[in-house]
Structure 1
Amino acid sequence: MPQYYIWTIGCQMNKAESQRVADYLGLLSYKATRSLRSADLVVLNTCVVRQSAEDKVLGTLGYVKGIKNYNPDLFVLVTGCFVNSNIQQLRRNFPHVDLFFKPGDYVKLAKWAERLRIVPPKTGLPLTKNTTVCAFVPIIRGCDNFCSYCIVPYRRGREKSRPVKEIVCEVDRLVSCGTKEVTLLGQNVNSYGHDLPRKPDLSDLLNELNSIDGLVRIRFLTNHPKDMSQKLIKAIASLGKVCEHVSLPLQSGDDDILKAMNRGYTGEQYRQLIHTLRSDIPEIAISTDVIVGFPGESDEQFDHTLAVLEKIQFDTVHVATYSPRLGTIASREYRDDVPFEIKKERLNKVEALQA
């Protein structure tokens, strides 16, 4: 039986998509292996949100190229946010890759398999066969926000929600296989449903999932502050299976930096939202993300971020240094003028504050 190896880097959405690819390869009679060198087919599920992630992708592509030099029959497939719209350029740069397919483009994967006559049963691409206690369930793909620093909308496209019925059926089936907890995923999960007929929102979906017998816990991430509605807050507070935890990226505590980031809210609006969440859900846990060293960020502006973090006292803070991404608004309009040493110093200060 041929073997496959999937290398995954990046967000939970990537992990969920890798699981779906694994399920599909199982239909093609491939078996998973833990050794890249022993695989007949390798899938690289990539991330380029930060330069450090892209460097790892490039390093792994080079490593796989070396393996393919010794094993020319090895199939190499690449997906994730490394795959941009210029597929021809990617093919020229990485001729050892057999297929580039965009995140979630399982149709292209299926057509490639059909061309090679690696034909699965005529059942279409499967929903995940995950039988673990906890499962990731993508509910919306893409992003319409275009934060100035973020490459995701350019690589994953505009927002596209899955129908409520389709999601409920998937979760129901997962529960029948032993899953107790699901995490609903989206680049901007709380904008779910705006593109669907009748425009159901995330709170409507949570209500539907809350009624599934055997499902114990429901989580969801990641949220955008501007889409955290009072209706959604009420659903978190009232639905017994929905965990009282919210991931709510702040990114900066300075209004000018937030505007340059195109975040769509002010520091005061964010603080008011936190106040509402804690007033309506006293036991809620709140995690956040912060970017330090955004172009033009002064010491004073960084101090504004520290002040917000000290005031709010998040349960968890994920901090990263700004990394320019080619093709984003920030990379075109702003000079990456904060020295790396200062970025690192600011990152250390945020981490020390959270410790």
Structure 2
Amino acid sequence: MSQRRSAVTDATGDNARKVFIKTYGCQMNVYDSQRMGDALAGDGYVPTQRIEDADLVLLNTCHIREKAAEKIYSELGRIREMKAERATQGRTLTVGVTGCVAQAEGAEIIERAPVVDLVVGPQTYHRLPQALARVHSGERVVETEYAVEDKFDHLPKQAARQIRARGVTAFLTVQEGCDKFCTFCVVPYTRGAEVSRPRAAILEEARALAEAGVREVTLLGQNVNAWADGAGGLGSLLRELAEIPGLARLRYTTSHPRDMDDDLIAAHRDLRALMPYLHLPVQSGSDRILKAMNRRHTGADYLRLLDRIRAARPDIALSGDFIVGFPGESDADFEATLDLVRQVRYATAYSFKYSARPGTPGATMDGHLPEDVKTERLERLQTLLREHQVAFQESFVGREEDVLVEKAGRHPGQMIGRSPFLLPVVVPASAGAIGEIVRVRIESSLPNSLMAEGADHADRLVSAEPLRKIA
């Protein structure tokens, strides 16, 4: 389970109430943390990057990884000591747990962790100001019982200054929830049923982002390509977004193979703004395991779909997800996964050992594998995936690429941007300003990035955080 602080820039004001948001997990949670900050801004809170300065601490949680809840309770133990110290000084600290662990655990968090004042699920974070008002009147609050539609109806507006502070790329949630019920996954239980955000609201937010200087938008959803309304699916929405002045690049994640329709595939062929990168999880190459996972497609179905996508966009970079050691997975099942990987040659991929999520069908299946078997298989899979990733990156050496400059590098003379294929690229500061798309020649490939000609790279490895799986 990955974690990060909220990407909101600190505000000033000694008398202002300060909120510290710690974000775990995927891009959806990053987006949600930003929206929580926006909702709280109207209530007088300003963001801080120092937990020591905070009047309000929110842990925006993820429930996908093993022992996710236990990690949150461990963090709450440290916060409890801070809160107790504040009390000796006559100061207060309000503590909240939000996100998917909040939705899954609910009132149990309040019972188990007395330090927690409020628990807010991912469908109800827009109600934070009201929940905090109840906390300040002496209640301990649990808010998890609202429809997903309410969240879309009450998304707070972002001020232009807030958008600009977050950079020239932005996330935009268009869909939430999942109806697929894969047997390994808690998302249908923590995020609810699939719901599409209204087209007009999406376009309005996208225009506001573009007017504030955002050049690239990534559409988010647990099954983002399940988005639809009466006028069409995700392909039609992308076509409208591509017409917005200033938006030069569009992406979307995470997709399900069963929702990849003809119009969306055609959009990859037709839209210059739609970047040639697609995250399309398969999870396993074994038909037997795919059936046990309730994926409702076979390995051959998946490969045929990729053939159609590559026919529409031959240069597309593919990303995937894999779970090894699912209950009952045999050596032959695992070899089928390796065979599929060899056929696809992913540009990047995310791979994990199976871990049982309480309340999911997979947790009660027979045939759970020993940990050492799962570990050995994961190492073999990751070795193969890494070989393909290195080969993909090295294929760009000597080529010219368009790079969206996103931020200053860690060293003088460097800027960091991304190629159309989502690869981080180090460019010389003279190449262009933040927000510009510059044409550069790739000189070398580093472990986690590409280096453009003219960039200072003497023994300087640059790490860049990849997009995370939506959960």
TM-score by length of 2: 0.71
1:199 CA drift (Å): 5.4
Residue 210 of structure 2 corresponds to residue 171 of structure 1: no
Residue 318 of structure 2 corresponds to residue 286 of structure 1: yes
**Matched pairs, number:** 346
Question: Quick one: percent identity of the two aligned structures?
Answer: 41
- What secondary structure sits across from 1:257 in the alignment? helix
Residue 113 of structure 2 corresponds to residue 78 of structure 1: no
Letter in 1 for 2:31: A
Answer yes or no: is the 8 Å Cα contact 2:253–2:278 preserved in 1.
Answer: yes
5+ long unaligned stretches in structure 2:
1-15, 138-153, 387-471
Greater shift, 102-111 or 208-217, is seen at: 102-111
Q: Which residue is equivalent to 1:98?
A: 117
Greater shift, 182-191 or 60-69, is seen at: 60-69
- What secondary structure sits across from 2:102 in the alignment? coil
1:116 CA drift (Å): 5.8
Answer yes or no: is the 8 Å Cα contact 2:172–2:218 preserved in 1.
Answer: yes
- Specify which structure has the higher proportion of strand: 2
Q: Which residue is equivalent to 1:126?
A: 156
Answer yes or no: is the 8 Å Cα contact 1:320–1:347 preserved in 2.
Answer: yes
Letter in 2 for 1:25: L
- Structure 1 runs of 4+ aligned residues shifted over 4 Å read none
User: Structure 1 20/165 Cα, relative in aligned 2: closer, same or farther at 3 Å?
Assistant: same
Letter in 1 for 2:363: S
Q: 1:108 & 1:126 partners in 2: Cα distance?
A: 10
Q: 2:52 & 2:262 partners in 1: Cα distance?
A: 51
Residue 312 of structure 2 corresponds to residue 247 of structure 1: no
- What secondary structure sits across from 1:354 in the alignment? helix
Q: Deviations over 1:164-195 (max 9, x none)?
A: 000000010011111000000000000002xx
Letter in 1 for 2:383: A
Q: 2:115 & 2:218 partners in 1: Cα distance?
A: 36
Q: 2:316 & 2:67 partners in 1: Cα distance?
A: 32
1:275 CA drift (Å): 1.1
Q: Which residue is equivalent to 2:196?
A: 161
Aligned residue among 368, 371, 385 for 1:340: 371
Q: 1:350 & 1:91 partners in 2: Cα distance?
A: 40
Residue 347 of structure 2 corresponds to residue 328 of structure 1: no
Residue 350 of structure 2 corresponds to residue 318 of structure 1: yes
1:335 CA drift (Å): 3.5
Q: Deviations over 1:63-84 (max 9, x none)?
A: 2122222224111111111013
1:53 CA drift (Å): 3.6
User: Structure 1 296/134 Cα, relative in aligned 2: closer, same or farther at 3 Å?
Assistant: same
Letter in 2 for 1:28: D
Answer yes or no: is the 8 Å Cα contact 2:57–2:93 preserved in 1.
Answer: yes
Q: Which residue is equivalent to 2:308?
A: 276
Q: Which residue is equivalent to 2:296?
A: 264
1:160 CA drift (Å): 1.3
Q: 1:335 & 1:324 partners in 2: Cα distance?
A: 12
Q: Which residue is equivalent to 1:65?
A: 80
Q: 1:310 & 1:149 partners in 2: Cα distance?
A: 24
1:33 CA drift (Å): 1.7
Larger Rg: 2
1:125 CA drift (Å): 5.1
1:85 CA drift (Å): 5.6
TM-score by length of 1: 0.93
Q: Which residue is equivalent to 1:20?
A: 35
Residue 266 of structure 2 corresponds to residue 234 of structure 1: yes
Residue 385 of structure 2 corresponds to residue 354 of structure 1: yes
- Specify which structure has the higher proportion of helix: 1
Letter in 1 for 2:60: N
